[in-house]
Amino acid sequence: MTAARPLIAIGNYDFRASGTVLKSIEIASAAHSAGMAVELWAIRADGPMLARIPAGIPVIAAGGGLKAASRAQDLALNIPALARTIRTRRPTLFLSGGNHFHLPARAALALSGRRKTSRLLLRVSNSSHEGKRNGFLNRWDQKLKYGGSQSIVAVSQELAGELTQLGMNIPIHCIPNGVDVAKLRRMSEAPFEHPFLRDRENGHPVLVSMGRLSRQKGFDIALRGFAQLCHDPLPRLFIIGTGPSRIKESLLALARDLKIADRVDFLGYQDNPAAILSRCDLFISASRWEGASNALIEALACGLPLVATDCPTGNREIVTHGPYGRLVPVEDAAALAAAVEAELRHPRARDRQRAGAENWRLENCMAAWVQRLQIENRQ
C-alpha cells in the first residue's frame, strides 16, 4: 500500500475579498502544482474568493453550526470545531494564513491533541503596531499569538525585524508578497467605463485607493487629504474594496461633510481591479499599518505612481525601491495632499513603474513558498 502524502492545511476565517485570503489561495495552488497534498480550510467557507480556488484543491468547512456576530467572536466560538477538523483531517503541517487566524489555530491545535504530529506555521501578514496596544501589553499579546508555532514567515523584511525584537525562540523567515504581473497586464486591457474617466479626458486626474474598508487602511485620511487638493482641474477618486456597512456609511458621511462626495465613488468589490487601476493617474495608500501591501504592488504593475504612508511595515520597501513614489507620515492628510500634488505636477513614466513590479513577481514568491513548505514538512 502506498503511504499517504503529508497533508498541508491552510486556514483562514472565510474567503472574503482580502489580500490575506488571495495569498492563501495562491500558496495552495503553488503547493498543489508542486505535487503536494493541500487543503484550504475556513471557519465559514463562503465569500467571493471561492471562485478563484483552482479545481483539485479541496475546501474544508472547519466551523460548526453556531455563529457569533463578529469575526473574532466566531473564531473563538469555533475553536472546538477547528480542533475536531484537525483530529479528523490529520494535517502534518497547519499553515495559518493571516494574523486573525493565528491564536485560534494555536488553541485548536492544542485542543486537538495533535501538537506533536502537526506542525504550526504562521504567515504573519500585518505589523503588530496596530494602534490597539503599546509596550508590555502589545509584546505579551504578540507572544501569545505567535508563541505556539514552530516557524514563522513574515511578508516583509521590516516585519521580520519587528518579530525578531519580540525575542521568541522561533525561526523567522521572510517571503515578500508577489503579484502575477503578466496576468495583471492582460486584465488591465479589459474594458471599464465610468463618468470619472470621461472627466479625465477633460484634464481631471483620477486617483485610486484600494483595500478592505477598515480603520487600518486609513480611507478617512485619504478622503481628508483628497479634500485639500488644489489641483486644477479638480481630481476624482475611486475607492475599491468592501467592508462593514457601518464603516462605508461613515466614510460616505465624511465625504459629504468635506463636500467632495460628487468627486468620490466607492466601487465596492471588483473582480478585475486592474482594468480600473490602469486607467487612473495615481495610487494612494493611507494605511495606519500594513504587513506588505498587495495593492501597492498591483498598482505599480499597472503603471501608477504611488503615494503611501510610511507606516509599519513594508510600504517603504516597495515605494522607495525605485523610487516609485512618495512616502508621507501616518495620519497626516496635509502631507498626503502635498505629495499627491507633487506627483501630479511631475508624472512618472508608466513603463518604468510597470518594470518596477518585476521585483515582486508572483513566480518568485510562490517558488519560495513551495521550498518553505517542503522544508517544514520534512521537520
Residue 131 has pLDDT above 60, yes or no: no
Set of cell numbers at residue 375: 522544508
> Which residues lie below 8 Å from residue 21, measured CB to CB, with a gap of 6+?
12, 14, 15, 47, 49, 97, 98
What is the rounded CA–CA span in Å between residue 114 and residue 109? 6
Mean pLDDT of the 39-59 span: 96
Q: Are strands 7-12 and 93-96 parallel, antiparallel or unpaired?
A: parallel
54 in Cβ contact with 31 (< 8 Å):
no
What is the rounded CA–CA span in Å between residue 216 and residue 358? 27
pLDDT reported for residue 172: 96
Residue 2 has pLDDT above 50, yes or no: no
Residue 377 has pLDDT above 90, yes or no: no
pLDDT band for 130, please (50, 70, 90 cuts). low
pLDDT band for 111, please (50, 70, 90 cuts). very high
SS3 62: coil
Could you count the other beta carbons within 10 Å of the beta carbon of residue 366?
A: 21
Angle between the N-to-C axes of helices 79-89 and 99-112, in degrees from 0 to 180, rounded to the nearest 10 = 60
21 in Cβ contact with 51 (< 8 Å):
no
What is the rounded CA–CA span in Å between residue 282 and residue 291? 22
pTM of the model: 0.90
Measured between its terminal Cα atoms, the distance across the chain in Å is 24
The average confidence (pLDDT) of the chain is 94
Grid cell 505636477 in the structure block, residue: 345
Q: Residue 107 burial (CB < 10 Å; 0-12/13-18/19+)?
A: middle
What is the rounded CA–CA span in Å between residue 162 and residue 167? 10
Identify the H or E element spanning 344: helix 333-345
Identify the H or E element spanning 153: strand 151-154
> Quick one: DSSP state of residue 53?
S
Residue 115 has pLDDT above 90, yes or no: no
Residue 159 has pLDDT above 80, yes or no: yes
- Chain segment 258-311, per-residue pLDDT in tens: 999 999 999 999 999 999 999 999 999 999 999 999 999 999 999 999 999 999
Q: Are strands 151-154 and 93-96 parallel, antiparallel or unpaired?
A: unpaired
- Which amino acid, 130? E
Q: Are strands 7-12 and 264-268 parallel, antiparallel or unpaired?
A: unpaired
What is the rounded CA–CA span in Å between residue 43 and residue 11? 8
Question: Which of 313, 231, 240 is CA-nearest to residue 275?
Answer: 240
Mean pLDDT of the 104-127 span: 94
Q: In DSSP terms, which residues pair with 284 in a beta bridge?
A: 307
Give the strand order in the sheet containing 325-328: 264-268, 236-240, 206-210, 282-285, 306-309, 325-328
Question: Which of 147, 176, 143, 171 is CA-nearest to residue 159?
Answer: 176
What is the rounded CA–CA span in Å between residue 63 and residue 47? 15
147 in Cβ contact with 115 (< 8 Å):
no
pLDDT reported for residue 134: 53
294 in Cβ contact with 315 (< 8 Å):
no
Set of cell numbers at residue 86: 484537525
The structural domains of the chain, ordered by start, are: 7-178+361-377 (3.40.50.2000), 181-360 (3.40.50.2000)
What is the rounded CA–CA span in Å between residue 166 and residue 177? 23
Residue 139 has pLDDT above 80, yes or no: no
Set of cell numbers at residue 43: 471557519
pLDDT band for 133, please (50, 70, 90 cuts). very low
- Chain segment 180-189, per-residue pLDDT in tens: 999 999 999 9
Set of cell numbers at residue 233: 482641474
Could you count the other beta carbons within 10 Å of the beta carbon of residue 358?
A: 11
Question: Which of 289, 301, 79 is CA-nearest to residue 188?
Answer: 301
Give the strand order in the sheet containing 59-61: 59-61, 37-42, 7-12, 93-96, 119-124, 151-154, 172-174
Residue 212 has pLDDT above 80, yes or no: yes
